[in-house]
C-alpha cells in the first residue's frame, strides 16, 4: 500500500494554491474556498493537476507567455484574516468556508488546526475529500466538519489502485466511520469512461453503499475542464482523447443505483 503522506512534523503553515472568495458553487450560500495543494492519489482524469504535487510548481500559459508559481505556504492567521473579511456575507447567505484541493487530508495537522480556528469564529465548514488518511486522523478531522462531499471513485480495490495508485480500503473504512458518527455528507462518484461507468459497476456500487449505509450519491460525469492545465504544467494528459460524458449518458447507471435503493443526484437534482 502507498505510504500515507500527511505532513505530520510541521503544521505552522499550509500549502495553498488558491483562495477563492464569493464562491456560490461549493456548498450553500456565499463561501470562501481554500484549495490545498498535494494529493496522495494520481487520478488520470484529475481536473486540477496543479493540485496534485505537494510543492510549489510553475505553470506556463503559452497563449500569453506568462509563467506563474502555483502554491504558497500560508499561516493559519493569514488564512483566517482572508476568511473573516467576508463574515457578513456568510451570515446573510448561510454560507461559510469550503476546504478543497488536492486532498485536504494530505495536510491533516494543519487543516485540523485551521478548522478549529474557523469554528472558534462560529463559521460553517464544508470539505471536499476522498478520505484517504489514517482512521484516527480522519475521526479527529470530521469533528470540525459541518458537511462533507466524499468522493468514492471505485467499488473495487484493485481497480482503484490501478487507476489512482492507492487502494480504496481506507477510503471506504473512513466513509463508514463518518456514517457511524452521523456526519452530514454527500458521496460523489466521478463517472469515468472505461473505469467505472459500466452498469455492472453501478450494481456493485449499489451493493457497497447498501451494505455500509449510504442512502444517496451524486454522479459527476467525466469532463475535460482540466485539459489546458496539463499543457501549462508540461505534463502528459493521458485522457485527452476521451469523450466527455453528460447527464443523459448516465441515466441507466442512475436507474441501477435507484433499483438498489440509492437516491441519485445528477445534473443538480435527484
Ligand atoms: S483525488 Fe482529486 S485532486 Fe487527487 S488526483 Fe484524484 S481527482 Fe485529483
Distance 136 CA to ligand 1 centre (A): 22
**% the chain with pLDDT above 70:** 96
Q: Centre a 10 Å sphere on the Cβ of residue 116 and count the other Cβ atoms it contains.
A: 12
Mean pLDDT of 103-114: 98
Predicted confidence (pLDDT) per residue in 209-243, tens digit: 999 999 999 999 999 999 999 999 999 999 999 99
Q: Residue 39's domain is classified under what CATH number?
A: 3.20.20.70
State the pLDDT confidence band at 43, using cuts at 50, 70 and 90.
very high
**Residue nearest (by alpha carbon) to ligand 1 atom 6:** 43
Q: Is there an atom of ligand 1 within 6 Å of 41 CB?
A: yes
Give me the pLDDT at residue 268, please: 85
Q: Centre a 10 Å sphere on the Cβ of residue 41 and count the other Cβ atoms it contains.
A: 20
Note whether residue 11 is domain-resident. Answer: no
Number of structural domains, the chain?
1
Over 70: is that where the pLDDT of 8 sits?
no
CA distance 140 to 136: 6
| pLDDT, averaged across the chain | 95
State the pLDDT confidence band at 1, using cuts at 50, 70 and 90.
very low
Q: Is the peptide bond before 102 cis (omega within 30 degrees of 0)?
A: yes
Q: Centre a 10 Å sphere on the Cβ of residue 229 and count the other Cβ atoms it contains.
A: 18
Note whether residue 69 is domain-resident. Answer: yes
Note whether residue 89 is domain-resident. Answer: yes
Q: 159 is written with which cell numbers?
A: 481497480
State the closest ligand 1 atom to the C-alpha of 102, by its place in the atom list counted from 1: 3
Give me the pLDDT at residue 267, please: 87
Note whether residue 175 is domain-resident. Answer: yes
Note down the domain range covering 203: 19-266
State the pLDDT confidence band at 5, using cuts at 50, 70 and 90.
low
Q: What is the DSSP string of 242-253?
A: SPP--GGGGHHH
Give me the pLDDT at residue 10, please: 53
Q: What is the DSSP string of 171-225?
A: HHHHHHHHHHTT--EEEEEEE-TTTT-SHHHHHHHHHHHHHHT--EEEEEE---T
Q: Centre a 10 Å sphere on the Cβ of residue 191 and count the other Cβ atoms it contains.
A: 22
Note whether residue 246 is domain-resident. Answer: yes
Give me the pLDDT at residue 107, please: 97
Distance 49 CA to ligand 1 centre (A): 8
Predicted confidence (pLDDT) per residue in 160-189, tens digit: 999 999 999 999 999 999 999 999 999 999
Pocket test for ligand 1, best of 15, 42, 103, 233 (most atoms within 8 A of CB): 103
Note the pTM of the prediction, 2 decimals: 0.94
State the pLDDT confidence band at 63, using cuts at 50, 70 and 90.
confident
State the closest ligand 1 atom to the C-alpha of 45, by its place in the atom list counted from 1: 7
Note whether residue 63 is domain-resident. Answer: yes
Amino acid at each position: 500500500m502507498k505510504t500515507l503522506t500527511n505532513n505530520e512534523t510541521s503544521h505552522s503553515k499550509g500549502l495553498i494554491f488558491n483562495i477563492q472568495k464569493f464562491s456560490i458553487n461549493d456548498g450553500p450560500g456565499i463561501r470562501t474556498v481554500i484549495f490545498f495543494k498535494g494529493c496522495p492519489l494520481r487520478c488520470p482524469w484529475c481536473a486540477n493537476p496543479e493540485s496534485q504535487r505537494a510543492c510549489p510548481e510553475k505553470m506556463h500559459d503559452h497563449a500569453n507567455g506568462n509563467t506563474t508559481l502555483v502554491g504558497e505556504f500560508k499561516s493559519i492567521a493569514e488564512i483566517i484574516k482572508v476568511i473573516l473579511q467576508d463574515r457578513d456575507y456568510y451570515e446573510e447567505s448561510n454560507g461559510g468556508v469550503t476546504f478543497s484541493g488536492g486532498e485536504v487530508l494530505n495536510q491533516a495537522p494543519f487543516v485540523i488546526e485551521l478548522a478549529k480556528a474557523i469554528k472558534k469564529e462560529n463559521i460553517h465548514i464544508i470539505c471536499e475529500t476522498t478520505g484517504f488518511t489514517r482512521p484516527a486522523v480522519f475521526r479527529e478531522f470530521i469533528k470540525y466538519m459541518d458537511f462533507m462531499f466524499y468522493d468514492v471513485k471505485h467499488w473495487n480495490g484493485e481497480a482503484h489502485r490501478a487507476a489512482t495508485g492507492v487502494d480504496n480500503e481506507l477510503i471506504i473504512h473512513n466513509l463508514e466511520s463518518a456514517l457511524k458518527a452521523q456526519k452530514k455528507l454527500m458521496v460523489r462518484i466521478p463517472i469515468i469512461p472505461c473505469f467505472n461507468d459500466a452498469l455492472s459497476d453501478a450494481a456493485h456500487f449499489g451493493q457497497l453503499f447498501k451494505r455500509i449505509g449510504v442512502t444517496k450519491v451524486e454522479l459527476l460525469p467525466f469532463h475535460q475542464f482540466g485539459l489546458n492545465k496539463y499543457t501549462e504544467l508540461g505534463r502528459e494528459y493521458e485522457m485527452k482523447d476521451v469523450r466527455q460524458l453528460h447527464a443523459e449518458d448516465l441515466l441507466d447507471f442512475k436507474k441501477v443505483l435507484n433499483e438498489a435503493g440509492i437516491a441519485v443526484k445528477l445534473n443538480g437534482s435527484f
